[in-house]
Amino acid sequence: MSFIGPRPLLVRYLPYYSADERVRHTVRPGITGLAQVRGRNDLEWDCRLAHDVEYVEQISLALDARILLETAKSVATGSGVRVNVLSGGMRDLDVERHV
């Protein structure tokens, strides 16, 4: 595991990724990432996974530094934190994409 990279998700979600979204598994998962600094649980699944793909496609030391700084700012200010994630209506990926 890395400090910065796409957040690891549940194994049961594997069948629900699009072919493009599977690229997120080509890098080490991280504690924080682009999706976390751009909205965390307030983002819809499609948007969260798009940020993961964007990270993989644009990975660089400069991007990692920016994510690290934005993470520190979010932690210091408490921005984007929801006490009860379930109350926000965020559904599991497998429920969201179940056909």
**Residue 83 pLDDT exceeds 70:** no
The reported pTM is 0.85
For the segment 11-26, what is each residue's pLDDT rounded down to a tens digit? 999 999 999 999 999 9
For the segment 24-57, what is each residue's pLDDT rounded down to a tens digit? 999 999 999 999 999 887 888 999 999 999 999 9
Question: From CA 28, how far away is CA 15, in angstroms rounded?
Answer: 19
Residue pair 13/21 in contact (Cβ under 8 Å)? The answer is: no
Confidence of residue 60 (pLDDT cuts 50, 70, 90): very high
